[in-house]
Amino acid sequence: MIFTIILAENHLSGPIPDTFAAYQRLLVLDLSANNLDGEIPSALGEVPVIQYIDLSYNGLSGSLPASLGGLRRLVFLNVSFNSLRGRIHTGGIFDIVSASAFLGNPGLCGYPFNASCEDDILKKSAETPVGDRLLVFISLVIAVLIVIVLCVCSWHYRRCLRLFTMNSITAETELIPETVLRAWTAKELRDATAGFHTANIIGSGGVSVCFKGVLNLKGIDMLVAIKRLNCKAMDGSQIKESFLREIKVLGDVMHRNLVRTLGYCLDGGEMAIVMELMEMGDLRQILDRREKPLSWDRRMNIAMDVAEGLVYLHYESLPPIIHCDLKPQNILLGSDMVAKVSDFGIAKLLESWESSLAVSISDFAGTFGYAAPGKLLFLSHHNTVI
């Protein structure tokens, strides 16, 4: 029984076989960055439990199979940078994914692209009076203004709530309440990663290894990233203290440019953090891909995303957070190419807005190599990037 097929960047060529209907338990199909051609087989729409399909960076042609819209469990689809043509269907996954999933296919038209199909343009221009179009435009402007006002009010409310609850922060040695982050058992994490199989490793650091897996969250099976701490890398009290500090930080952090934490595990000798899976990987991996280099506009957008995440950590989070280990490996990108800062396990909390914390070499946070000179003596906002 096959659950996962990952053959990305293997120089495969020829058409995709139409025998996928036989793999009724297939969850993940990744054939990206190959030399595949021909049409996408409609048989993919007959795999009932598949959740992840990545066919990007190939030479696929023809139209998108409408059958993909009927896959109820499919949460990720990427067919960017092929030679696909025709209208993008509606319904199911086609209503969920962003335009980035279809980029690099000049022949595609319809939602979510701004450009409509040719027949739609002719039909609308013939049927829609000028007055109606003006009314629609005015309505859209009003709707955008309402959304902006609501966002500002929501931000102000959350900030006031954080100010009100600052004095109620629990002691560092207490467990995180279930209402804040979901607590998984060690058995659930082992089942989700096939016993922490090496085939599911997506990254590693000094004291942790990150796996991808499938966990049930609110009744829905979804792909997640599981950061497993290596308890043998340091003494028990030290790693437990670091783990609890990270969980407390992550439980309060909510921002579109920071990787979202879904839960944790402190059970059966396992210490792990469950996070959202960023499908495109880290910035280092993307920069190393020579066949599709990032445009300068895309690089600027990534830099802006990272800056917004750091502004939240430094100036909007209470208490403020210093990352201390910002590097390309800790900048992750999703299918929409929005960058998110990750790995707050080595974060240091500032007790006030303008204070800086003296630390010793033995308490040094971050990956050794280059370090900001001031970081060896004092820790502040200015030492985030190493």
Tokens for 333, please give them. Answer: 């990108």
In whole angstroms, give the CA distance from residue 203 to residue 329.
Answer: 9
* pLDDT number for residue 267: 84
* pLDDT number for residue 351: 36
Matching residue, tokens 């043509």: 85
Question: Catalytic site residues?
Answer: 325
Tokens for 288, please give them. Answer: 């190393």
Helix (H), strand (E), coil (C) string for the chain: CCCEEECCCCCCEEECCCCHHHCCCCCEEECCCCEEEEECCHHHHHCCCCCEEECCCCEEEECCCHHHHHCCCCCEEECCCCEEEEECCCCHHHHCCCHHHHCCCCEEECCCCCCCCHHHHHHHHHHCCHHHHHHHHHHHHHHHHHHHHHHHHHHHHHHHHHHHHHHHCCCCCCCCCCCCCEECCHHHHHHHCCCCCHHHEEEECCCEEEEEEEEEECCEEEEEEEEEECHHHCCHHHHHHHHHHHHHHHHHCCCCCECCEEEEEEECCEEEEEEECCCCEEHHHHHCCCCCCCCHHHHHHHHHHHHHHHHHHHHHCCCCEECCCECHHHEEECCCCCEEECCCCCCEECCCCCCCEECCHHHCCCCCCCCCHHHHCEECHHHCEC
* pLDDT number for residue 371: 45
Sequence-distant (6+) residues with CB within 8 A of 30 are 5, 6, 7, 8, 52, 54
* pLDDT number for residue 179: 46
* pLDDT number for residue 185: 92
Angle at 59 between CA 94 and CA 42, to 5 degrees: 45
- Predicted TM-score (pTM) of the model is 0.47
In whole angstroms, give the CA distance from residue 4 to residue 24.
Answer: 11
Domain 4-124, CATH: 3.80.10.10
* pLDDT number for residue 362: 34
In whole angstroms, give the CA distance from residue 243 to residue 324.
Answer: 16
Give me the architecture of the 170-277 domain, per CATH: 2-Layer Sandwich (3.30)
Per-position pLDDT tens, the chain of length 386? 788 898 999 999 999 988 877 888 889 999 999 999 999 999 998 998 999 999 999 999 999 999 999 998 988 999 999 999 998 888 888 888 888 899 899 888 888 776 567 655 455 554 556 667 788 888 888 989 898 988 888 887 777 665 544 433 333 334 454 446 788 899 999 999 999 999 999 888 767 789 999 998 878 888 999 988 776 655 556 666 766 777 777 777 888 999 888 888 888 888 888 988 998 888 988 888 767 788 889 999 999 999 998 888 888 877 777 777 788 888 999 888 899 998 764 544 333 323 433 333 333 344 433 344 544 444 555 555 54
* pLDDT number for residue 114: 65
Superfamily of the domain at 285-386: Transferase(Phosphotransferase) domain 1 (1.10.510.10)
Tokens for 94, please give them. Answer: 């086609």
